[in-house]
Amino acid sequence: MRDRIVAAAKRQRNKCAEFLRELIATPSESQSEEQIALMVRQRMLDLEYDAVDVDRFGNVIGRIGDGPKKIIFDGHMDTTGIGDRSSWRFDPHRGDFKAGKVYGHGATNNKGGLAAIIHAGGIIKDLDLAPDCSVYVIGSIQAEQCEGIAYKGIFDVEKLYPHFVVLSMPTGMRICRGHRGRAEIKVTLRGQPVHASDPEKGFNCIYGIADIVQGVKELNEKLPEDKFLGKATVAVTHVETDNNGPNALPESCHLIIDRRLVPKEDVKKVLAEVKTLAKGTRSKIEVVEFDAASYRGLRLPMEKYFPPWSVEEDHPLVRAVQDSYKSVFKKDSTIDRWTMSTAGAYTNGVAGVPTIGFGPSEEIFSGPINDHVRVDDLEKCMAVYASIPGYLPDTEPIKIPRRRR
């Protein structure tokens, strides 16, 4: 069977690469994924998936098979904005093909992986590789705004709850089994606005925020480190003021802090740290709540705190992907973890569904300098994805948990 899977992936190679170029040529910033969702849906239909639906939030959900083992392959459809166009070495929306690589915005994160799982689904269908599985291939929304928001809808609203999740995010062809948690904290400090010509009569909240910023910088050096997931970090990522002009002290100043957590850390600890830094400033400190509407106009409010997570190295899902990798490459895989945050923050970190990642390209290539995917890696990923259902362990019926978030 291994040879048939590898041969099928080779046959799909050019179609997958061309589809990736089409995806790149279709801008799909978060909340604007409608056009790319139509393309994903149509490609699944062309590959004769057993069922293809678009849920109420806009996620595209394709299914192959109707067996008791349920596995999701995820690739998110959205991207960030391109930022400063002049910083790009190539047209971000042309999908250039050069020296065996496809270049363009979102190639790395996550359109390359998305194209690969979609075509792997076609291989699973054609070769009947999952007779005892329900294989779901999902093009998910708004991952760049709030990791895992799609799965709050898919799990808790649509009631599609799997045994396993495989993320096609960039891993450099390694198997990633976890990453640090993440909390997004907002600090607001109100000022006493007066004319800038007489600042002593007011209160300049920028100076108070500046002290907190310096405290965040110093805190980063003191945070703990986990042997597997790496070092906890904290960084100021956004500062803004509300004022009436450049010649007036601001009415308020807002700060966004990105905090990456390791095991034994939680949101209470994170908030306590920031409150200590802001002591005496009368700042308002809170976890950011995500509430942006999907391209279909629906909102799914969610607090932007995700605990650290990892799957044990000997977990049956990890072993299944290792066996799939070895069947394709005829060598052992490398186990790793992500530096960035992914939908696994919700699927595993919050919902507790065993989740791993395996995908083309590297995290560091996600950006204007070198955003690309090797076509060879698309082919190899398709073969690995298509092999995974055959190595999954027996499963028990799923009991859908109740959660409040």
Domain at 242, CATH number: 3.30.70.360
CA distance 238 to 235: 9
Among the ranges given (78-92, 258-272, 301-315), the one the predictor scored with the smallest mean pLDDT: 78-92
CA distance 140 to 150: 6
**pLDDT tens for residues 70-113?**
999 999 999 999 988 888 989 999 999 999 999 999 999 999 99
Q: Given a cut of 90, is residue 402 above it in pLDDT?
A: no
Split at pLDDT 50, 70, 90, the class of 401 is: low
In a domain, 221, yes or no: yes
Split at pLDDT 50, 70, 90, the class of 240 is: very high
Q: Are residues 270 and 331 in the same domain?
A: no
Q: Given a cut of 80, is residue 298 above it in pLDDT?
A: yes
Q: Given a cut of 70, is residue 215 above it in pLDDT?
A: yes
In a domain, 404, yes or no: no
Contacts of 186 (CB under 8 A, 6+ apart): 254, 255, 256, 257, 284, 285, 286, 287, 288
Q: Are residues 317 and 212 in the same domain?
A: no
Q: Given a cut of 80, is residue 251 above it in pLDDT?
A: yes
CA distance 389 to 132: 9
**pLDDT tens for residues 332-368?**
999 999 999 999 999 999 999 999 999 999 999 987 7
Q: Are residues 78 and 135 in the same domain?
A: yes
The token pair that represents 90 in the structure block: 């190539």
Q: Are residues 27 and 129 in the same domain?
A: yes
Q: Are residues 341 and 227 in the same domain?
A: no
Mean pLDDT of the chain: 96
The last residue of one of the domains, among 231, 259, 290, is 290
Q: Given a cut of 60, is residue 241 above it in pLDDT?
A: yes
CA distance 396 to 229: 30
- Work out the average pLDDT over 4-21: 98
Q: Given a cut of 80, is residue 220 above it in pLDDT?
A: yes
Which amino acid is residue 97, in one-letter code?
A: F
**pLDDT tens for residues 17-45?**
999 999 999 999 999 999 999 999 999 99
- Work out the average pLDDT over 284-309: 97
Domain span at residue 338 reads: 2-179+308-391
In a domain, 399, yes or no: no
Judge whether 262 and 179 are in contact, CB under 8 Å.
Answer: no
Give the CATH number, domain containing residue 316: 3.40.630.10
Q: Are residues 197 and 66 in the same domain?
A: no
**pLDDT tens for residues 374-383?**
999 999 999 9
Judge whether 148 and 113 are in contact, CB under 8 Å.
Answer: no
The token pair that represents 19 in the structure block: 């589809």
Q: Are residues 66 and 152 in the same domain?
A: yes
The last residue of one of the domains, among 290, 319, 334, is 290
Domain count, the chain: 2
CA distance 35 to 29: 11
In a domain, 299, yes or no: no
pTM of this structure: 0.96
Selection from 185, 127, 172, 173 nearest residue 303 by Cα: 185
Q: Are residues 236 and 110 in the same domain?
A: no
User: Can you give the pLDDT at residue 370?
Assistant: 84
Q: Are residues 76 and 210 in the same domain?
A: no
User: Can you give the pLDDT at residue 399?
Assistant: 76
**pLDDT tens for residues 381-394?**
999 999 999 999 99
Ordered strands of the 175-176 beta sheet:
51-54, 60-64, 133-140, 69-76, 164-167, 355-357, 175-176, 335-336
- Work out the average pLDDT over 260-277: 97
User: Can you give the pLDDT at residue 32?
Assistant: 98
CA distance 36 to 77: 7
- Work out the average pLDDT over 239-258: 94
- Work out the average pLDDT over 180-207: 96
Q: Are residues 172 and 316 in the same domain?
A: yes
Q: Given a cut of 70, is residue 403 above it in pLDDT?
A: no
